Amino acid sequence: AQSVTQLGSHVSVSEGALVLLRCNYSSSVPPYLFWYVQYPNQGLQLLLKYTTGATLVKGINGFEAEFKKSETSFHLTKPSAHMSDAAEYFCALNTGNQFYFGTGTSLTVIP
Amino acid sequence: DSGVTQTPKHLITATGQRVTLRCSPRSGDLSVYWYQQSLDQGLQFLIQYYNGEERAKGNILERFSAQQFPDLHSELNLSSLELGDSALYFCASSGEGEQFFGPGTRLTVL
C-alpha cells in the first residue's frame, strides 16, 4: 500500500539553524515525491519535486531534499532557517494514479 | 498564483443547510481533486475527477457529493451541514505529475 509518513508534527528551530523535516514513504511503484508549504490561511504551494534523475533536488527559498530509495526517505533540509520559513510543510507521493499526503509538520522558527 | 481558482473565499452558514463550492482548474488540466483541511483531521483527500468522471474516492461523507462539468470546472456540494464540517476546502488540479492548489474556501457552520 502507498503511504507517506512525516516524523514530527511540530519542529522548532532557532533562526539561522539547520532545518530538517523528515518524510518516509511506501510505494510499490517508482514514486514521484513532493514537498509543499502552506502559510497561514493560504493554499499549498510546491517547494520542490523529485520525479527521476538526480536524487538531490533543489527547490524555492533555499530548500532541498534528497531521495534515498534504500531508506525510502525524502527529507527536506535548509541550511539556515529564516523567520519567514515558519509554516506547515507537507510531503506527498504520486504513484501515477493517486496522490498521498503526509499529516504535515508545523515549523516554528525561534528568533 | 497556481492558476486554480476557487469561489467563494469564505462561506458562513447554519447547521442543516446546503452549500456549493466551486473550482476551476488550471487551463489544460483534466484532473480535479478536493480536500478538506481541519485542525483536528489535517489534510483529508475527498474525491478526484478526471475529465468528467469520478476517478478516486477518499474520506468523503455521504452528505457530500461532487461533479466535474464538460468545461472541467468542478463543484463540491455539502448538505445537511454539521458544526464539524467547518474547515478549509481545497481544490487542486494536476498536470506535469504534480498538483496545483487553489486558495481554498473557508466554510464556517454556525
Q: Looking at the complex, does the CB of residue A5 fall below 8 Å from at least one CB of chain B?
A: no
| Alpha carbon separation from A79 to A19, A54, A62, B48, B70 (Å, rounded) | 6, 20, 8, 37, 47
Q: What is the mean pLDDT of residues A30-36?
A: 93
For A57-105, give the DSSP string.
EE-GGG-EEEEETTTTEEEEEESS--GGG-EEEEEEEE-SS-EEE---E
d(CA B5, CA B101): 9
Mean pLDDT, chain A, as a whole number? Answer: 93
Interface of A with B in 61-80 (CB under 8 A): none
Cell of A95: 504513484
Q: Which residue of A has its CA nearest to B89?
A: A43
The two beta strands, A32-38 and A87-94, are: antiparallel
**A67-104 tens-digit pLDDT:** 999 999 999 999 999 999 999 999 999 887 678 899 99
- Is the sign of the CA dihedral A108, B1, B6, B11 positive or negative? positive
Q: Which residues of A touch B43 (CB under 8 A)?
A: 90, 101, 103-104
Cell of A98: 493517486
Q: How many residues does chain B have?
A: 110
> For residue A1, what pLDDT band results from cuts at 50, 70 and 90?
confident
d(CA B89, CA A64): 28
d(CA A73, CA A66): 8
**B57-68 tens-digit pLDDT:** 988 999 999 999
Q: Looking at the complex, does the CB of residue B98 fall below 8 Å from at least one CB of chain A?
A: yes
Q: Which SS3 state, helix, strand or coil, does residue A18 take?
A: coil
